[in-house]
Structure 1
Amino acid sequence: MKAVQIMSYGAADVLRVNEVDRPAPGAGEVLVSVEATSVNGHDVIFRTGELKIVSGRRFPIGTGLDFAGTVAETGADVQGYRAGDRVWGIVHPRQRHVTAGAAEYVTVAANRISHAPAGLSSVGAASLVVAGATALIALRDSVHVAAGERVLVRGAAGGVGTAAVQLAHAMGGHVTALARDHHAELLTGLGADEVLDYRSTTSDRIGPFDVIVDTVGTELHRYRGRLAKGGRMVTVGLSLPALAAIAASSVHGPRRIRTFSANPGSALLSDVADHVTSGALRPVVDSMYPLAEIAAAHEAFERGGAVGKHVVTLSA
């Protein structure tokens, strides 16, 4: 089978589409025929070697954190899934040797998948797995958005941002989206009550907000200052400056900046699927690439400016 592998740490040109043996599911695992995957920040960080303390120096390393497809085979002790079921899921971050989600087949623990929403294409599903799960954890589990609260979403046009705008709206929040002004029509259609151009809007001239969801990872201390009394802020755009701001906020003042390690399982993925089924969450896809052009998809991700997700397809 074909699988994308990282042959050394570096730029996108270290990615190769290689022929490898098709894996077999072990006990408690499912073999999925992958139809689509997306490019996530986690994939880029692994490829560049920023997380080599986790991924090590043994090559090749698989890439592709998420996937959507159909069950090809189940291992022993797997219940609730059978061949032909449409599923989506997330590869465990440590499952990075040889192959991962960017491959024709992937084996994954059954507790890391759920049934994909009916009627959603594989491309749409792949665009929402990580983005939808991350946004739901941030809004529901980290900052506990309540109806009527004022919510700011930074980086609102990206994959997590577009999901966060939709979910915050569905939870009854009054949503302000911070993005480029030419994304205003799209973001309003997703549920934003107002859209501000981040290039001409300074943090000291907006708010205060009850909740801030940050997907950028910069100037966190400035935006933290725009929280109302009792306000909460969460960031998913991690960087060294962001980690420093998070640490400082836990010491100085009550409005600490929160973050989390998104490692969702079946229950959370089923919750995301429910939001899709209810109409509260829909995919936003910036571009699609065939597997052979996954390096171009990584390069597009790193350039930034995407509206939604870059998706890599493995089937027609």
Structure 2
Amino acid sequence: MDDRMMKAVLYDRYGGPDVLYVGRVPRPRPARGEVLVRVRAFSVNGGELSARSGRVRFLTGRKFPQRVGLDFTGEVAGLGAGVTDLAVGERVWGVLGRTSGFGSAAEYVTVPAVRVGRVPEGLDLVAAAALPVATTAVTALRDKAGLRAGERLLVRGAAGGVGNAAVQLGRAYGAQVTALARAANLDFVRGLGAHEAVDHRVMGPGELGRFDVVLDTVGTDLRRYRGLLAPDGRMVTIAFDTARPVASLGFILASAVHGRGRVRFFSGNPQRAELDALARLVEEKQLAPATDTVFPLEETAAAHRALEAGGVRGKFVVEVG
């Protein structure tokens, strides 16, 4: 077999999960300041579904084939020039940067050395793949919202990848956590540390009360959830309504200057410092990976299909055999 090539998950047109297939592409080589990572696992993220379906083709364009995979765990397999703070064989995790696009659904990936961190000792690399996107929850609650002990926190989409981490962190930070999830997942989010778990299909926003911090991972009905903010409340969203992107993003921008309670929108873009902070939270047992199902690389389409169906508990992870 040609060791200059590798397996990767690709698609040649926009569409449903069935457009995904495992093909062969050239194995990348690390440029200066980069590391080559032998990927052991990655997780499936909502942004990939939007990209693959074509809902955000104004961002992803029409050049094919395109790739999937945002985060990864694995071992360092090669070092680019100038990289002296990592060694071949070290266990690492990370998230591809905003300008890199997708591509971690592969046997190897190159990434700037500043975008990888060391996986905590004793943490299985497949289970660990559920955690890199948890850096988004850390940034949202700690940095964007400034969540304080004793405050009321509402987590929307609490059973998902970022949401489950936010519930755990909210409890660790001393907040009073209310988690919104499907009925079937209420016990799951209570087990993560939620003080109150609410079926979002039974109880609407108007019945939830007031909150100091609202963390939204869904992106729809942002105006209604912003209305739940107490005086001096803060709302952070990591998603927008892909069915109405212009109107949704317009509302987020307008909220910065109009109305009560600014909606802070951001996209996770972690570097070494954030990944090291994540490792400390795991080591201090304030955060643990929540893995729903592990799929083999050849069944990445099934993992996409499962996430689209909803009801995930934590993360769907794909193991690269």
TM-score by length of 2: 0.93
- In the alignment, structure 1 residue 112 sits paired with structure 2 residue 118: no
Give the equivalent residue in structure 2 for 1:204.
Answer: 206
C-alpha distance in 1, partners of 2:98/2:230? Answer: 35
1:45 aligns to what?
Answer: 50
User: Where does 1:146-295 land on structure 2 (aligned, <5 Å)?
Assistant: 146-239=148-241, 240=245, 241-295=247-301
CA distance in 1, matches of 2:307, 2:163: 14
- 1:56 aligns with one of 47, 61, 67: 61
Distance in 2, matches of 1:147 and 1:207, equals 19
1:59 positional shift: 1.7
What's the CA shift string for 1:14-33, capped at 9, x where partnerless?
A: 21201222211111111111
Q: CA RMSD in A?
A: 1.6
Query: What per-residue deviation string (whole Å, max 9, x for no partner) do you get for residues 100-129 of structure 1?
Result: 200011111101111012211122211111
Q: Tell me, in whole angstroms, the C-alpha distance in 2 between the residues paired with 1:37 and 1:301.
A: 14
- Residue identity opposite 1:259 in structure 2: F
Letter in 2 for 1:253: G
Q: Whole-Å Cα distance in 1 between the matches of residues 215 and 7 of structure 2?
A: 38
**Aligned counterpart, 2:130:** 127
| Matched residues, number | 312
- Once the two structures are TM-superposed, the CA of residue 263 in structure 1 deviates from its matched residue by 1.2
**d(CA) in 2 for partners of 1:62, 1:88:** 19
The percent identity for this pair of structures is 51
Q: Which residue of 1 aligns with 2:3?
A: none
Report the Cα distance in structure 2 between the residues aligned to 1:18 and 1:224, rounded to whole angstroms.
44
Is the CA contact 1:65–1:93 (under 8 Å) kept in the aligned structure 2? Answer: no
Q: Deviations over 1:262-311 (max 9, x none)?
A: 21111111111111111111111111110001011111111211111111
Structure 2 stretches lacking a partner, 5+ long: 1-5
Secondary structure (helix, strand or coil) at the match of 1:129 reads coil
Q: CA deviation at 1:237?
A: 2.4
Distance 1:184 1:46 in 2: 29
Q: Which residue of 2 aligns with 1:82?
A: 87
**Structure 2 counterpart of 1:141:** 143
Q: Which deviates further from its counterpart, 239-248 or 153-162?
A: 239-248
| Aligned AA (1:117) | P
CA distance in 2, matches of 1:238, 1:119: 36
**In structure 2, distance between residues paired with 1:279 and 1:144:** 21
Change (3 A) 1:104 1:189: same
Q: Following TM superposition, where does structure 1 have runs of at least 4 consecutive aligned residues deviating by more than 4 angstroms?
A: none
- State the alpha-carbon separation in 2 of the partners of residues 304 and 186 from structure 1: 15
